[in-house]
Structure 1
């Protein structure tokens, strides 16, 4: 069994998260500790008000809510809700929350069996529960005792088995709800982080997205960004984040931002000898005629090169990334040269009308992707998004018609002579007046 404890500022948010899972049919409230009635006989407001009433006894406690998940081995998916409830009650008593109000939810939206427990840090007398080092001390002791009492798979053995399984199985796309989330992401990271040569977070995400995984360090105003943190999250079929992000420090190889920044420096040098292969493949694909951008992408795919187009919300292309699966190298278009960036590739390809839905189904990079401002790729992305000249593919006759309707601009070869003549006339008039 693996226990994860988190604290928060809002009991509303934690409560709504679990109740929404119930409404979606992927969770059930299986017990209520220190409540007057059973959960099936209570409305949502009755459950929540029990917490809110006790929290008012000490409004000075800022991080007043507690969210705990107890995660079991995949082989333990046969547990009845009565056993899960008994484990939850035993665990809460052992960590000092036995007399607190708490709700227990059984979730079924992941590949491994697990339960969520929500509670508060304010006691009935208004005092605050000290949770300093609770995970290392009380929770760890409770976990070991419960594993022995209920015959659960030991967490240490589970970690060893997981590490072996990661090394022996090749990576595949992560399917949320069908596989154990953390283990599935770990498999992908085990392959991508060690085998591919990427030099920025966007380039790493260009590879991870093909496995339905994304690395993010938050927006500029977020706490995770200020603390240089990093999380990994599963993506759905449309490339949108789904489920709960997992901290980088929780994975066995600790793929934190500090770790990645070192990899960026190493990979920037390692991938240099392989630039020519990607450039030659692009040039060769453009030789027979002038293909459209989508046709070019198809040709490169046959050469083992995956092309990722970055576009804004309006559908304008502002970036392009090439992932060479043969050499395991990733390049932003500008890294290969000016002829291989987004704007240049549009000019080198046959103009065509492409709707936003015809592009590759990958959302544009936004703040939540967590681009580091010091990286070259981030600067390029910012320059594209802030440009007044948005990049668009020519749509045919309407473009040249609009150009003809624009006011004509005079050239320097017209303005120059007129300026000279006017100066000479002024001098001549002045000389006449002096006489």
Structure 2
């Protein structure tokens, strides 16, 4: 068995995801823990209200919801009763036995699995610590349950990769294929809560992967002047299409004020997160002397990093944003260090000479004085007046500049002007 735990700021989002699966006939709610009624008598609103009432006991806790998936080997086919016994035992062992929770069996994957939805606020208003819940409690519980119920054991991390908990569908939005607000809502709930970004451009770097744009409008627009925010769907060419939707129209309110709090919170990142992405980029570049930027982006994507290049209308590269889907971090290139800035990356890819190489190239193009004098001797019988003038100009250029004026004279000229004297 493989267990995956995701925490969330929005119990509505997690519950809606599972209920949408039920409505699509690819899942069913098979049980409930610590609810006053049987699961078949619970409407969606009753399911949600039980959670909301508990969360109202401690409104200071922001990350207050858990979404757990228990994944079984494809060879296992457990009854609903056994699945509920497994879930009940698991919830007891991780400290959620007295919490309200709902259990959904999903049928839309190649392996049997259930999703469990719950909150971490207890009856007395205290919160259950979610920090390292997987390592501290879930892993020991998983191993015990495998023995108790005779389940196929998870052998290691490779098996875990088979079971990815996707609370929300995150495919690229195609305008007209699904209802716009619903499609935008799904992407926003996933990106806004799961990724770390410290500016609107960084956020948009992720959103554009899903054909979404957070738009403040032009500086003269009413939206911008009132600190409003619009969310737009983009077409395959990255152009806005359809009718934009106000941030305030979504029930989870992803407004500019909400984002500002996120930006401030994410200003400081974990050193290990920065170190991982820097190591991957360095390793990729060190093995390639000359590599096109498109090839670099492909190689980084294989390591779970999307790269967004920003160019001017003339095609000049002026910005790079890296999106690490492993650590869920977005970094502007320059924030990682000078060697990850646009100019440095082009140089490291062999696409642009370094400052030292530029100097060497200039030096290589300028012949030495000795060679010029030797050439003058060899051509003295055939040298024309214009060519001679040009040659002499090159010879004396480094020693003479018509713009040069001794420092003492410059001061005197400046004083004479101040006193109203003329230089003529």
TM-score normalized with structure 1 length: 0.44
User: If you compute each CA radius of gyration, which structure gives the higher value, 1 or 2?
Assistant: 2
- TM-score, normalised with respect to structure 2: 0.45
